[in-house]
Amino acid sequence: MTPLLTSLLQSTVTMAVPLLLAALGELLAERAGVINIGLEGLLLMGAFAGMVATYATTVPLCGLLAAWVCGLALALLFAYVVIVHRANQIVVGTALNLLALGITGVAYRAVFGVTGATLTVGGFAPVPLPVLSSLPILGPAVFSQTLLGYLAFLLVPLVWFGLYQTIPGLQLRMVGENPAAAAAQGVPVRRTQLLALLGCGLLAATAGAYLAIAYAHTFIEGMSAGRGFIALAIVIFGRWSPWGIVGAALLFGLATALQFHVQALGLPIPYQFPLMLPYVLTLLMLAGNAGVTNAPAALGAPVDGN
């Protein structure tokens, strides 16, 4: 029983990491009043860039840097259209997802050709923490993560501190609640939203890089597999709080991990049911949170001003 619990918890944490990274990025954007449903595209682009750069250099850090560059570039594009031209955020986010899906599919074939062989790359290896990694059950799952895994959970208190204990965090939340009042207090509304979106792009691309060079060690078209949309649901279910988001990410990570363990145990359950569990959970969470008022008051509204 203990090996099963250890394996399940390990899979849960592994599956939660990219969701947590993407959701924390979305939290920054939404706290600044911008809905970025282009998370799926940012994840996919980060995964592709990370895999290609790692394949070319054999250095995982180069893959991570490439993912950051692509994530920032897409975030800048999104910010330009949404902030400068005040375009509909949902439409632009959808276009971003389609753009990333098309670019990664075409670029993959251009670089590697159409082949049935799966290309694999080296990546970030787990870094067990002395003593802690030897603890029963928790040790292998929590304290034997890759550097990106540790980073994801370290960012939770850092993001909380930044949002609630610093002046820039207060200004960001002001912009998301009442941009006109924030502008009246001298807060640069557009610049604040731009920085929030850049942070979102950076974290979402990191989530994609994690998938490609720390988890799967390869790239498959569409490998984000809806994680960007699940991250959006996690922000809502987590009540726009870093602590709520980490709990929701672990819950969705568990739902994803159960797919593998139900099939591995050979239980008489059609495999389609475990596969759809994370998406059913997403719908249930969104339905259960209908009418929730924790969202920033100006979320999704176009902003006039500086």
Sign, Cα dihedral of 7, 9, 12, 14? negative
Question: Higher-confidence residue: 149 or 142?
Answer: 149
Residue-wise pLDDT for 242-301, tens only, equals: 999 999 999 889 888 887 776 666 666 766 676 777 777 777 776 766 556 678 989 988
Question: Higher-confidence residue: 216 or 136?
Answer: 216
Residue-wise pLDDT for 166-201, tens only, equals: 999 999 999 999 999 999 999 999 999 999 999 999
Instruction: Tell me: pLDDT of 156 over 70.
Output: yes
Distance CA 227, CA 54 (A): 22
Instruction: Tell me: pLDDT of 236 over 80.
Output: yes
Distance CA 66, CA 72 (A): 10
pLDDT at 115: 60
Do the Cβ atoms of 210 and 68 come closer than 8 Å? Answer: no
Instruction: Tell me: pLDDT of 57 over 70.
Output: yes
User: Is the entire prediction scored with pTM above 0.75?
Assistant: yes
What is the chain's mean pLDDT, rounded? Answer: 89
Question: Higher-confidence residue: 154 or 237?
Answer: 154
Pull the structure tokens for residue 96.
């971003």
Q: What domains are there in the chain, each with its CATH number?
A: 2-288 (1.10.3470)
Residue-wise pLDDT for 20-51, tens only, equals: 999 999 999 999 999 999 999 999 999 999 99
- Mean pLDDT lowest for which of 102-111, 124-133, 287-296? 287-296
pLDDT band at 118 (very low <50, low <70, confident <90, very high): low
User: Can you say whether residue 295 is alpha, beta or left, with left for phi > 0 and alpha for psi between -120 and 50 degrees?
Assistant: beta
